[in-house]
């Protein structure tokens, strides 16, 4: 069963590049993971329609962390992507973070 990791940032543009890197790594290792990026303005619609297994926020919207955790934290793990990992577009580290969050999450 595929796990879904969704990244959200202010416009979804820079996060799209990181999501592509993460998806490439996932594909290289034949991991059953789908990584997608969206604008934060679509978070309610996307969560309702697709039910991800992990939500990662871009550093530029980290101020929304508590609000997102309050809304969705009981059904899915939520965290902010490390600024250094985001800035260097380290898809492997961010993918590992998402996988760890999914494995450790208790509903």
The residues carrying an active-site annotation are 9
CB 17 within 8 A of CB 89: yes
Query: Which pairs with CB-CB distance under 8 Å and at least 24 residues apart come from 43-48?
Result: 43/8, 43/68, 44/71, 46/6, 46/8, 47/72, 47/76
Helix 65-72 crosses helix 43-50 at what angle (to 10 degrees)?
A: 30
Cα dihedral: 23, 104, 61, 8 (round 10):
30
3-state DSSP call for residue 53?
coil
């Amino acid at each position: 069963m595929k796990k879904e990791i969704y990244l959200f940032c202010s416009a979804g543009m820079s996060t799209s590049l990181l999501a592509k890197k993460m998806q490439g790594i996932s594909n290289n290792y034949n991991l059953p993971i789908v990584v997608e990026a969206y604008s934060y303005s679509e978070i309610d619609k996307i969560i309702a329609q697709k039910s991800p297994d992990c939500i990662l926020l871009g550093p530029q919207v980290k101020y929304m962390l508590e609000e997102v955790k309050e809304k969705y934290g009981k059904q899915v793990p939520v965290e902010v992507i490390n600024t250094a990992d985001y800035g260097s577009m380290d898809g492997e580290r961010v993918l590992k973070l998402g996988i760890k969050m999914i494995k450790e999450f208790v509903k």
